[in-house]
Structure 1
């Protein structure tokens, strides 16, 4: 198979990708069908296994003229083993082309290329200085098995490679901010896959230490709530853990502020940004319409009080699924921001992250169904919110009580975003953030 881009008409592979890409969980086309797919670059993998492979970057074009870039690791074998048969993209005269991330041998070769600091075309495979992967032999990799906007591959219990799918120009914040943080409250960075595309830098993947034995915050929260409701325990252990989580988030914010600086945003500008996000949400979720005027009033409240908003680099999409309880502390992961955000590297108030976590606690509490259990879950929610705020305030030195109007605006903005997301993707869940919007507005 020739991976290299060809001029003129679409190749058979490009034609196959037109129908294959929209069926992927990570495809961000918003329900649109591609009009055309063009291979822009292909970095061939160095491999000793029975497959050929390449990291392929394609441009997807739509009939309205919009375009998007995607990273599609592809493999080719004469015959595809039955256990990965569902990954096939197309069958050609010289073999089957398939999604390479399911091939443990090809993924092992990819790890070895990072460890060997190899290059392929315009793509560089880069170990971090002092990383144990430098010069390492291939280690079989397995997909993490979680459907998400990127693809993660685990190597034993030591490393995890995140392959970005929907690409944007510039260094991905996941790579940039992990280098800045240097392992403080985040998994240690081991390497990356970087290159240039049309003269601009692009990040195809990042390699981290794998936090073996860790559990994400969402599982811990829902388990704790289930145990409370069923009478297994009183929930106090998790509440104490949440206070430590608040401190961990504050540690990350303080480190990012120290190393990348702090700026100021006029609160009128913040209101304009949030109102624009509301307008987009209203188009997706008409149920928000009856609240629109009161939502805008909450967004304008900090400006009416003459408040200034301190901004810096932050996580950008913080929730319980983005934190891991590992060993005796918490780790923050997935710094690439909201999947659909256009300003993933822009500074924001740290309160945006705080609001995201507070909203995530509410989602966990919303899993409880009957009235008696919901009463317990509401008490639990009050406790964990207070614990998180206490831990964050203690470690950051920020009195969140004095920033209440800004925090409320961010929390309401997050709930509005969630209503729009759930209306599009999981309508049965939309009542959880809709109830939150009503509660924040006072009923």
Structure 2
């Protein structure tokens, strides 16, 4: 292991975007170093392979190099360590090539370095190991200082001025990231943030070993006036809790109008995706396979979380009913990880973000066609979360449980009404399919909360209990 790899082995597990937290690293290798700015100060893109429990995940690290002792207070928090320098184009962290060591750090936090990324996307530098692409017809302003957005977990986003956001995909899978693929297909829609360009490099295909163009980052419009959908919904719920005895439609901050408009926007995006990308109809045997996969996930969840066992029969019955539906099931490209945190409210309406799908799944799985009702189910589950999560540890839990259920039901109905009015599949006419997707999502949530947020485990369990009645 090189000196740099030793530093990365200690640094990577502490990063929010690292997916293997709590699991020992068996091996770490810098598979490739792509020089963007040679020398010291310098900038490189690393592809780092991390082995854990017999599997290997690849991560992107934007590595900055500066003379030791020159990072200053602004970049101290981004320090990875001190490494031996190398000649231009050579690997960092090998045998000493220069008279002194250099500091290596996460250059996503270095606005002088990241300004060069924006410059190169604007220029559309399309050759070399790392390629910078500009969307046809796009004009990109340069010379803006970037800052890193806080709060993200699986990726890192840089905001340039008030115009652009560059999302760096930290965990890499060979192929075009679905976020770029679907956003490009939706270009021109008022319900997405406009794409401006992207950065890519080649990764080896896991089966053939052949190089595959892989998305490293995507540049989009920054929606500076936007408000997160989860924040808006949570505010509405707080208003309800602060008004004891009032129905959800009587309390201040009623959310149902927004929920209905969000449903219509979701339907419009699904229609546009169906026009721009492939669609299909699921055969009965394939639908039965989907139902069996749901049953398998339920079994795995019960083995890990015994509190789910009392609802097992009702859940299996719902999955069996889904398997027996004889009506055609249209499938298409969908969002794949849809919830209130993936939408924002702007001055002119709702905008959908983050079409990456489930970040822990390989790109090939995220690109599979699915029913748009899967996205609908994800948003309905999110309404339940918005209503219930504030009850965790609340002194008046029992008294507020009924208003929480009423709020969730009212907004679920409004969203479904807006979705049908906007031209989507009418959820009311496909309750068997919708319920199966909802239950499947709730089972996933039970597993997630048990592993990561045990104090929130009651949320999906309570929802399953309510759905089962």
TM-score normalised to the size of structure 2? Answer: 0.87
Runs of 4 or more consecutive aligned structure 1 residues displaced over 6 Å after TM superposition: none
Question: Which one is further off, 324-333 or 300-309?
Answer: 300-309
In structure 2, the residue matched to 1:381 is 408
Q: 1:340 to 1:155 in 2, by over 3 A?
A: same
Q: What is the CA distance between 1:120 and its match in structure 2?
A: 7.0
- Aligned equivalent of 1:45, options 29, 36, 43: 36
| Structure 1: gaps spanning 5 or more residues | 1-9
- Please list the CA deviations of residues 221-274 of structure 1 after superposition, one character each: whole Å capped at 9, or x if unmatched: 001111233249734652111110000000011111112132122331220221
Counterpart-to-counterpart distance in 2, 1:68 and 1:312: 28
CA RMSD of the aligned region, Å?
2.0
> What secondary structure, in the 3-state scheme, does the structure 2 residue paired with 1:396 have?
coil
- Please list the CA deviations of residues 124-173 of structure 1 after superposition, one character each: whole Å capped at 9, or x if unmatched: 0111112221xx43321100011310001101110001000111111100
In structure 1, the residue matched to 2:179 is 174
In structure 2, the residue matched to 1:321 is 341
Q: Does 1:208 align with 2:216?
A: no
In structure 1, the residue matched to 2:54 is 65
**Do the aligned partners of 1:47 and 1:106 also contact (CA within 8 Å) in 2?**
no
- Please list the CA deviations of residues 40-73 of structure 1 after superposition, one character each: whole Å capped at 9, or x if unmatched: 222223499x8311111111123x4311111111
In structure 2, the residue matched to 1:364 is 386
Q: Does 1:102 align with 2:109?
A: yes
| Structure 2: gaps spanning 5 or more residues | 84-99, 205-210
**Do the aligned partners of 1:47 and 1:109 also contact (CA within 8 Å) in 2?**
no
In structure 2, the residue matched to 1:281 is 301
Q: What is the CA distance between 1:283 and its match in structure 2?
A: 4.4
TM-score normalised to the size of structure 1? Answer: 0.92
Q: What is the CA distance between 1:289 and its match in structure 2?
A: 2.9
- Aligned equivalent of 1:353, options 375, 379, 401: 375
Instruction: Give the 5 Å matches for 1:23-422.
Output: 23-29=14-20, 31-46=22-37, 51-62=41-52, 64-78=53-67, 79-92=70-83, 93-118=100-125, 121-133=128-140, 136-184=141-189, 185-198=191-204, 199-231=211-243, 234-235=251-252, 237-265=254-282, 266=284, 267-342=287-362, 343-366=365-388, 367-368=390-391, 369=394, 370=396, 371-422=398-449
Counterpart-to-counterpart distance in 2, 1:152 and 1:114: 16
Q: 1:180 to 1:24 in 2, by over 3 A?
A: same
Paired positions, count? 429
> What secondary structure, in the 3-state scheme, does the structure 2 residue paired with 1:17 have?
helix
